[in-house]
Amino acid sequence: MAELIIKNLHVNVEGVEILKGVDLTIKAGEVHAIMGPNGTGKSTLSYALMGHPSYLVTEGEVFFGGENVLALAPDKRSHLGLFLAFQYPVAVPGVSVANFLRMALNAHRKAHDPADKGISIPDFRKLLRSKMEMLQMDPAFAGRYLNDGFSGGEKKRVEVLQMATLEPKFIILDETDSGLDIDALKIVSDGVNAVQDSKQGVLLITHYQRILNYIHPDYVHIMLGGRIVESGGPELALRLEEEGYEWVREKLAA
């Protein structure tokens, strides 16, 4: 089992320092939620962890499973077991959901065993069917072009299907609740809960407490000004829902 360890992480975007020393450890099986106002660095953290080239790490360390993640290319981080569910998944016209998932799965298999010739089409169909049944998804999704013309809820459900198919060791959810109505939120949250197990760590980035009614965090962290400034249990999210962030700012200023 692997844990994610972030030490004094500083990240620049277009010459502006966004993250200013983030420290966080997430053990296997734990769910950590990060909350904070817009522009405080939450999504920057997720992109930096996955190696987005526009997010320059200027200081700090990130280890996953004992390996230095910052030394790896984005695809290698994925092969190591890190997975990012995007806030705004990109549409890929002409590539079906099934073909995309099979290519992604085969890339992971080959990374772990260069001699692996990939999963056969019949075996993949069985695997995909079982995952879609688990997530209560319409099998017709598999034949549609990836995210092309999908609603917000459908896009997020396909992200969960990717998690189920690739079985990552660590899941990063970047505002997965963004743009979802209550029904879609519950469906997506149920899917995440079905995929996540005691061996996987989860970093859940959100603005709102409502998703935490369905995906229950072990820890909640508040990010302000590019740093984690307060940590606690689920009750911390409830306090933010009731009081906002002003009390945190006043505490920091005291």
Cβ-based neighbours of 216, under 8 Å, separated by 6 or more? 31, 234
Domains and CATH numbers, the chain: 4-253 (3.40.50.300)
Which whole-number Å values give the CA distances from 43 to 10, 96, 135, 165, 183, in the listed order? 14, 27, 26, 24, 24
Find, among 45, 52, 7, 49, the residue nearest to 25 by Cα. Answer: 7
Interatomic CA distance for residues 158 and 151, integer angstroms = 11
Query: In angstroms, what is the C-alpha Rg of the chain?
Result: 18
The model carries a pTM of 0.92
Query: Residues of the chain with pLDDT > 70: what percent?
Result: 99
Q: Tally Cβ neighbours within 10 Å of residue 126.
A: 12
- Tens of pLDDT, residue by residue over 55-114, are 999 999 999 988 999 999 999 999 999 999 988 888 999 999 999 999 999 999 999 999
> Alpha helices of 23-174 — where are they, by DSSP H?
42-50, 74-80, 97-112, 121-134, 152-166
- Tens of pLDDT, residue by residue over 167-193, are 999 999 998 888 788 888 888 888 888
Which pLDDT value is given to residue 74? 95
Which pLDDT value is given to residue 237? 93
Which pLDDT value is given to residue 1? 55
Q: Answer for the pair 29, 44: CB distance below 8 angstroms, yes or no.
A: no
